[in-house]
Chains A and B, each alone.
Chain A
Amino acid sequence: MSKSKEQDTIEVFIDSVSHFYQQMGLAEMEIGVPYLLDSNQPIVSDFTGIIGISGRHRGCVYYTCPKAMLSYILIALGEKDVGPEHLGDLVGEIANTLAGNARKTFGSDFMISVPVVLQGEPDKVSLPKNTRCVVIPTKWKYYQSIIVVALE
């Protein structure tokens, strides 16, 4: 079965998040069964890192995860301050990794925005209207988080 371009693209984003965990020396992240996001209502957890994409493909990619998980990671990394600012920085760093890998892999096909970090605020996530988004559930320790790829 040959891989489609769309699949290649989504795999780059999944691998980016996986690599982030590896680079941080954290336990491996498990990938769940991807599904489609119906009705295009964004699902967000406590903290969300989003990158906007334009160029040949338009849309966004985001990673969203619960506060408890980010706090756990920060503590695991030896950080004592687990205030919202630090938690936001961490999720921003994950979004940065997404953006960096996307730039490296896709080159000029994708124009990637500077990552934006949100706390809750699902209204601020705007998903493209004419496309169904792919949700990739992920699990680290016992925390659930998701990657959402919404590209036209």
Chain B
Amino acid sequence: MFFANQFGKYRAIVISVAMFIFLDTGVLGLNFYISSQIAADAVNVNLAGRQRMLSQKSVKALLEYRYERQQGQSGRAAYEEMAGAIQLFDRTLLAFKAGGETLDTTGQPIYLPAVETPKAISAVDQSLTIWEPIRTDFNALNKGGGDMEQLLNRLVSSAESHNLTLLKLMNDLTNDLEAVAKEKSETLRLIQASAITLAILNFFLILFHFIGQLRQSDSIAETARKETTEILQTVREGLLLLDNNLIIGTQHSESVRAIFGDQEFAGMSFRSLLHNLVVGRDMSTTEEYIKLLLNEKVKENLIGSLNPLTDVEVSLPAENGGYSVKHLSFRFNRTIEDGHISHILVTVMDVTETIALRKALDEAQQSNGLQLDALKNLVHLDTRTLADFLRETDIALHEINDTLKDEAADPQGYNAKLQNCFRIMHRIKGDAGALQLPQVVQEAHQFEEQLQSLQKMSGLQGSDFLPLTLALDAFLRLISDLQEVSDILKQVQPASSAPASSVSEPEATPAMPLPLAPQLALLDREPITQLAERIAEEQSKEVNVIFDTDDDLALPDQQRSLVQSSVIQLVRNAVVHGIELPEIRVLADKSPVGRILVRVRQQEDGLRISVRDDGHGLDLDAIREQAHSNGLYDQAELESFSRTRLMGLIFHPGFSTADNVDEHAGRGVGMDLVRSNVNKLKGRIRIGTQAKHHCEISFLIPVAASMPSEEVDVMNTQSDAEARV
């Protein structure tokens, strides 16, 4: 299987090498074959040459034998030599003719193949024709008997007449065999040269082909490497590979460095990478999850939900040396090679922005929910009341913007800005609370929290106000949204709206009770009652608000609004600070239900508005203590203060005796707002209190048509406040 898969890739090189081996083996085989042929031919040539010698030797021995016999000697040696030469010549010639055995030069038997070339065959045939009678005569001579002399003479005569011919024929045979051998060796050389040339060509073919292929694959590999590097450098996700032992591989994307900081990742364990980022249990769950992923029997998509690192909040070193909080999401995937899991690919994504967006979306959804609640709350309201509230709030928010805009560079100026914003916002909060608009109350409360955090900030600078400015923008948008809702409500409930008389312009006109029937009542009682009851309920108290007012009394819109918001603050203050818990009231022989009396009286010198509660009265010790701990005055100064002046401190900005800050109390803004409102109304404040019995705060709005000369400094008013004990 492996070879089948790989053969395609390496087919060319396998074929080339096989051809190389085939050619070399072929040449080698041919070499062996032709060499053996040449060796055989050399034997033939030798033996053919020997025939030449044997022909002469036998003639010489014949002549010697006849001479010795003529001299009367036996001539035995010559005869033996002649017989040996003739027999060997005969045997070799016959072997040349038809193939057969003869003796080689060393006397060993050797097989001689029949000659094949026409020239050699002709020479052998002619030699046999000459040789046949000589052999017959010699055989007869050898047998003995008969006329030996005659036989001998005939042999000599034959030898003499054919000797040269036979020598020439044997010479021809030798030359022919030599030519054949030469031809064969040339053929061999040619074949060798050709085969070696082919083998060399094949070698160069292999060389160039594969160098080319190697260069090409190198270049492909290089391109792939470059592309991989580019991808790894550009991809925003952190990518890295883990082996079976959860050790990080050598390659990773550049983002890994951006996410985890500049360090050497290759060879590092995954556990060390997540050290300090992921707590113990999550780390072990992660390792178990990765081990499950490495188990081939487990299906990857079935265990995806087990990944504990889909959203990890981590603090990572930032470029500026600090730490930044990021949200990382880890994903783990198998990498498969040859059907087996080779690594785990870890993808790390910085999802900080996604999380922030999701949070924003949740907030927006929550805000929609709030708007729905707001809508529910708006529906029950009188459209005129709502429209007035929204219009006034819009104006108030613009006042805040104007306050921000006013030039002020020193810290005192900044604090004055904040204090002014506090007053305005507290009024909005009070009015919104009275109208049961929790969304606006919440927004105002958050704005106040921002104001307070700025107040606490040392070395306050202009740029620190930016969040406040943006919160103001958000608030204005909320009011604008509510105005849209209010407009819609106006269309759907026109009948319930208040009289259609024109609303007075919000210009600063002096207070003037106007007994005009179409005007709104001086106090909008319902929201005040509802607010008091709501706060009481939240504080586990019971309260009953009683109004004692003359319905004929009225004020221009702006003044009415100031009176309304002041009464709201005073009632709120009475519930929170004055009225005790029912059980305490019972112990003090009081009715468990607290009583708050809101009274408006026309007096000779103006309109007096008072809020009286039957609670525990002002706690002068607590006021003194708070003033001291706030650093307003030292102990000695406070001891010297009159009761009146001490009571006046409750109107000081930021002064509160409440233990905690909540929606209803704690910032010390409410009474400051009352003071500010009364100041705008050019009025005076009076406080009357009796310990454990009651507290009454009232203010007088002067009735004169114009009072430029009667402007009263409320700070002075505070210190001159009448104290009725």
Hey, which bits of chain A sit against chain B, CB under 8 A?
1, 3-7, 10-11, 14, 30-36, 38, 132, 134-137, 139
Contact = CB atoms under 8 A, between A and B. Distances in A.
A interface secondary structure, majority: mixed
A34 B408 CA distance: 12
Contacts of B462: 30-34, 137
Contact of B404 (A4, A7, A31, A35): A35
Contacts of A135: 405
Contact of B356 (A5, A136, A139): A5
B351 interface: no
28 contacts: A1-B453, A4-B470, A5-B360, A7-B466, A10-B466, A10-B470, A11-B463, A14-B466, A32-B409, A32-B462, A33-B404, A33-B405, A33-B408, A34-B404, A34-B469, A35-B404, A35-B405, A36-B472, A36-B473, A36-B476, A38-B398, A132-B473, A134-B466, A134-B469, A134-B473, A136-B466, A137-B407, A137-B462
B218 to A, nearest CB: 37
B467 interface: yes
Contact of B401 (A5, A30, A36): A36
B651 interface: no
B203 interface: no
A31 B461 contact: yes
B289 interface: no
Given A7-B467, A11-B466, A33-B465, 9 more contacts: A4-B467, A10-B470, A30-B462, A32-B462, A33-B469, A35-B404, A132-B477, A135-B405, A136-B463
B417 interface: yes
A82 B596 CA distance: 72
A132 B543 CA distance: 44
B79 interface: no
B467 A3 contact: yes
B414 interface: yes
A121 to B, nearest CB: 24
A34 B466 contact: yes
Contacts, number: 65
B31 interface: no
B463 A14 contact: yes
User: Size range of the interface on B?
Assistant: 20 to 34
B295 to A, nearest CB: 41
A32 B450 CA distance: 18
B469 A35 contact: yes
The 6 tightest CB contacts between A and B, nearest first, are A35-B404, A32-B462, A31-B463, A34-B469, A35-B405, A33-B465
Contact of B470 (A30, A31, A134, A137): A134
Interface in B464-484: 465-467, 469-470, 472-473, 476-477
Contact of B469 (A30, A36, A38): A36
Nearest to A32: B462
Contacts of A35: 401, 404-405, 469
A134 B469 CA distance: 8
A6 B360 CA distance: 12
A96 to B, nearest CB: 22
Interface in B435-473: 450, 453, 461-463, 465-467, 469-470, 472-473
A31 B461 CA distance: 8
B510 to A, nearest CB: 29
B465 A6 contact: no
Nearest to B402: A35
Given A7-B470, A31-B463, A137-B462, A132 B408 contact: no
B473 A30 contact: no
Which residue among A11, A34, A38, A137 has the maximum number of chain B CB atoms within 10 Å of its CB?
A34
Contact of A30 (B408, B409, B414, B465): B409
A34 B405 CA distance: 7
Contacts of A11: 463, 466
B463 A34 contact: yes
Contacts of B409: 30, 32, 139
A136 B405 CA distance: 10
Contacts of A3: 467
B450 A1 contact: yes
Nearest to B469: A34
A9 to B, nearest CB: 10
A140 to B, nearest CB: 13
A14 B464 CA distance: 12
Contacts of A38: 398, 401
B67 to A, nearest CB: 129
Nearest to B476: A132
